[in-house]
Amino acid sequence: MPNQRPLKLLHLYPEEMNLYGDRGNVLALTRRAEWRGLTVEVISRGAGQLVDWDTVDLVFMGGGEDSHQARIVDDFLRLGEALVPRLEQGLPMLAICGAFQLLGQSYETADGQTLPGLGFFDAWTEAGRVRAIGDVVSKTELAVEPPTIVGFENHGGLTYLGSSSQPLGRVLLGRGNNGKDGTEGAVKNHVIGTYLHGSLLPKNPHLTDLLLSWALRYRGVAQELPPLDTELEWTAHGVIVSRAKR
Ligand code: GLN
């Protein structure tokens, strides 16, 4: 596959925001691109570091404990001044759990502190009394086949979507955003917010390829991703889906 320059994947706060193997999402994106002859350059950015936004094609941010979210939130709000306009213009991003919460309007931590979010998603998160922990299967309306997304949730926050928000999926197994309305995650433009760890992407190769195709489109490259042998990944996916059928 012709390749002008590496795809640039910005990994935000890799030290503070990295729970339950979230870093594996970066590996899955990198590998599935490389298997198509693309190269990926991962730019890790911690608090206070600069970003050359004009070269970023895709953004990833993992989940974090309340204390870690509190530690990075001021920096994230400053970063949002450059990030949010680009997300509005189609820059793709995957935000897991604590990162998803901080893309909403606000996050109330377990000890009652309210952290402001970027307000990209019309959503807010309140402190729950019981942590949601376990396998999750959701059915998504994204144009992916199969329409199931699988993962593992572990969060105290309860997220509520505003009327203008679109959920990533509807839960078939697990609690999802708040355990009440059946929603899981959110999608806006090319930004996916979700509670699912796992890591998420190794067991959901259709989402990995969707993010890669969005990144190529954002960069202005009209390129189809050739299919890959993904039998092992679908076997892992199927094991979790079967838990929703018991
Ligand atoms: N600290 C947040 C919560 O408990 C996010 C957790 C996470 O990222 N897994 O809800």
For 122-144, how does the pLDDT look when each residue is reduced to its tens digit (9 = 90+)?
Answer: 999 999 999 999 999 999 999 99
Cβ–Cβ < 8 Å for 204, 192: no
Q: How many domains does the chain have?
A: 1
Q: Is 197 a catalytic residue?
A: yes
Q: Whole-angstrom Cα distance, residue 144 to residue 160?
A: 24
- Give me the percent of the chain exceeding a pLDDT of 90: 95
Ligand 1 nearest atom to the CA of residue 99, by list position:
8
Residue 2: inside a domain, yes or no? no
Residue 168 phi, psi dihedral angles, 5° rounding: -70, -40
Q: Could you say which residues of the chain have pLDDT below 50? A: 1, 3
Ligand 1 nearest atom to the CA of residue 125, by list position:
10
Q: Ligand 1 centroid to 168 CA: how many Å?
A: 18
The dihedral over CA atoms of 98, 99, 101, 105, expressed in degrees to the nearest 10, equals 140
* DSSP result, 86-118: HHHTT--EEEETHHHHHHSSEEE-TTSPEEE--
Ligand 1 close to Cβ of residue 65 (< 6 A): yes
Q: State whether residue 99 is helix, strand or coil.
A: helix
Ligand 1 close to Cβ of residue 175 (< 6 A): no
Ligand 1 close to Cβ of residue 157 (< 6 A): yes
Cβ–Cβ < 8 Å for 45, 56: no
The residue annotated as part of the active site, out of 97, 155, 190, 206, is 97
Q: Ligand 1 centroid to 6 CA: how many Å?
A: 32
Taking the alpha carbons at both ends of the chain, their separation in whole angstroms is 43
For 207-217, how does the pLDDT look when each residue is reduced to its tens digit (9 = 90+)?
Answer: 999 999 999 99
Residue 1: inside a domain, yes or no? no
> What's the pLDDT at 5?
87
CATH (domain of 193): 3.40.50.880
Domain extent, residue 11, equals: 7-243
What's the length of the chain? Answer: 246
Q: Measuring CA to CA, which residue among 17, 87, 13, 103 is closest to residue 49?
A: 13
Ligand 1 close to Cβ of residue 193 (< 6 A): no
Ligand 1 close to Cβ of residue 68 (< 6 A): no
Q: Tokens standing for 150?
A: 């699988």
